[in-house]
Structure 1
Amino acid sequence: MSITTSTAKTAPPPAADAGVAWTGSGRANQILVLTARSLRALVLEPRVLLTSMLTPLLMLVVFSQIFVSVAATPGFPAGVAYIDYLLPAIMVNTAMQSALQTGIALTHEMRDGIITRLRSLPVWPGSILIGRSLAELVRGAIRLTFLLAFALLLFGFRPSGGPVGVLTAMALALVVGGGLGWVFIALACWMRHIELVQNLSGMVTLVLMFGSNAFVPIGSLPGWLQVIATLNPMSYGIAAARDLTLGHPATGGAALALGASLTVATLAAAIAVRGFQRPA
């Protein structure tokens, strides 16, 4: 008996087009993946998150004691406890400080070569910056939650706006602080030197914070500082967050604060992407 062997051959799988290069995923997916990457760093190094929570707490403790006598001055809002006046300013500043950390982290990654590896991939440069910024917003939300719990338990923070007003003010602080924080991201993308970025960011933070209505009403400031505070977009964010926590109408103030911070964010983001694309 003879066995007939089939000579038919199985057709090979279709080959991929050699001339088609992989162009990467969409920008939305890139941002999602890069945001998750930055958040994993917080999980893997929780000490960084824990220590970053101490800064707003120390600010609340120190400034609430140093400036508490401001509540007795003629220009201070009547019937408002100083802790209720101060905390919205600390909230906005805390959100902005989280964005400052974005700039410092970027300079570290540029120095260590991580950014160079990411830029060798088909990734939109803006995705790297936005992903890092969104991750810091998450950290900012955690810091603000811890700050509010601390103020409620130990400082008697009981604003008339109630939980809705406080949570809305928290969301506003994150948007305003995150928007203004793009200034620090732009500095990092252009300076690319850790010490220089830290020094410049510190100076910008001092101007934005102390040249505002954070600690005293604008009318109580010297004339030249009143001009700076009036032009300072952080003043509008603090005023809107303060109105929300105190239960005052804040629709117009919130719209002005959001418009100012988003304008700053748009301009700074464009500058940041331009600087980020420069050769190392």
Structure 2
Amino acid sequence: MTMLVDTHPAAAVPLSPADLPARPTLRDTIDQTLAMAWRSTKKMRRNPEQFFDVTIQPLLFTAMFAYIFGGAISGSVSAYLPLIIPGILAQTALTTCMAMGTQLREDMDKGTFDRFRSLPIARIAPLAGPALADVIRYTIASTLTILVGLAMGYRPGGGVLGTLGGWLLTIVAAWSLAWIFTWLGTVARSAQAVQGISMLIMFPLTFLSNAFVPADSLPGWLEAFVKVNPVSHVVTACRDLINEGQVTAEVGWAVLGCAAVVAIFAPLAVRSYSRKF
């Protein structure tokens, strides 16, 4: 008996709109981002060495810069503290958030994000979650910097509210700048490359700013760059808040700059991540 076998493959039946995975809503995106943030905090607890830089660096840099440069720049350490403490806050924020890109690239190389790809989650959640969890590190670093300054005799003229304002601005700036390094983590080919590029960004932004010396004491060509350096705006805004307790135009420029960085680099990071995964 001869059997007839149909050798033609069955035509693919297109999925109906009801069968397609639903696009995550804003509420879903927030919940998924918080879940990713919680995952990152659990990693921090398992790897406490991630807190080494945010605890040692504020102690070391604040004391080192104050005692080495205080007498030469301001005549005494006590007179230098109102200048250097806001500068150390900004420097600490930048160097702390720099690790974001390296950690992200390491997770990608380990295949962690391959598992996220199969989940029906918002594309931004695996990126925004770790960025949100890193706020813990920024908070520790900023708090320790202020506490070290107080222990060295620094007395903020802006009072409690001004100090809290400068502290909060530093954390916001760190979270905003972290999106630059998040984007680098999605486009670079290795964690070593991310770290090298991040160092090239970090050094000009921090040391070619008014974080450690007054801008008017620099050569004219360098002063022009320092005045347009975004880190200088954050430093000046922190000084206005912490030392004077005033919400000046520099505070507005700093907040606007932070918003612009997020508006530019967050979509770039998500786009690069979506292309690779």
Q: TM-score, normalised by structure 2?
A: 0.86
Q: In structure 2, what residue type is equivalent to 1:240?
A: A
> What residue identity is the alignment partner of 2:73?
V
Equivalent-residue separation in structure 1 for 2:132 and 2:225 (angstroms): 29
Kept in 2: contact 1:104–1:188 (CA 8 A) = yes
Alpha-carbon distance between aligned partners in 2 of 1:120 and 1:100, rounded to the nearest angstrom: 29
Structure 1 residue 249 corresponds to structure 2 residue 246: yes
Deviates more, 1:232-241 or 1:222-231: 222-231
Alpha-carbon distance in 2 for matches of 1:34, 1:89: 32
Percent of residue pairs identical: 31
Structure whose alpha-carbon radius of gyration is higher: 1
Question: Matched residues in 2 for 1:178 and 1:97: separation?
Answer: 12
Tell me how far 1:112 sits from its aligned partner. 0.6
Deviation sequence 1:49-71 (CA, Å, 0-9, x none)? 14431122211122112321111
User: Residue 96 of structure 1: which of 90, 94, 97 is its match?
Assistant: 94
The answer on whether the counterparts of 2:159 and 2:242 sit within 8 Å (CA) in structure 1 is: yes
What is the count of residue pairs matched by the alignment?
257
Q: Do residues 39 (structure 1) and 37 (structure 2) align? A: no
SS at match of 1:278: helix
Match among 195, 207, 211 for residue 208 of structure 2:
211
Matched-pair contact (CA < 8 Å) for 1:97–1:181: no
Quote how far apart the aligned CAs of 1:21 are: 5.9
Structure 1 stretches lacking a partner, 5+ long: 1-18, 74-79
Letter in 2 for 1:149: L
Contact 1:233–1:261 (Cα < 8 Å) also in 2: no
Opposite residue 53 of structure 1, the aligned amino acid is: T
The equivalent position to 1:62 in structure 2, one of 49, 61, 64, is: 64
Q: Is the 8 A contact 1:42 1:48 kept in 2?
A: yes
Amino acid at match of 2:131: S
Ranges of 4+ aligned residues in structure 1 off by more than 6 Å: none
1:237 to 222, 234, 238: 234
SS of the aligned residue for 2:246 comes to coil
Partner Cα distance (1:192, 1:276) in 2: 13
Within 5 Å, give how 1:131-170 maps onto structure 2.
131-153=129-151, 155-170=152-167
The root-mean-square deviation of aligned C-alpha atoms, in Å, is 2.2
Q: 3-state SS of the aligned residue for 1:236?
A: helix
Aligned mates of 1:163, 1:189 — CA distance in 2: 40
For residues 1-280 of structure 1, the aligned pairs below 5 Å read 20=19, 23=22, 26-68=28-70, 69-72=72-75, 81-153=79-151, 155-279=152-276
Task: Check conservation: 1:186, 1:275, Cα contact below 8 A.
Answer: yes
Q: Distance in 1 between matches of 2:68 and 2:263?
A: 36
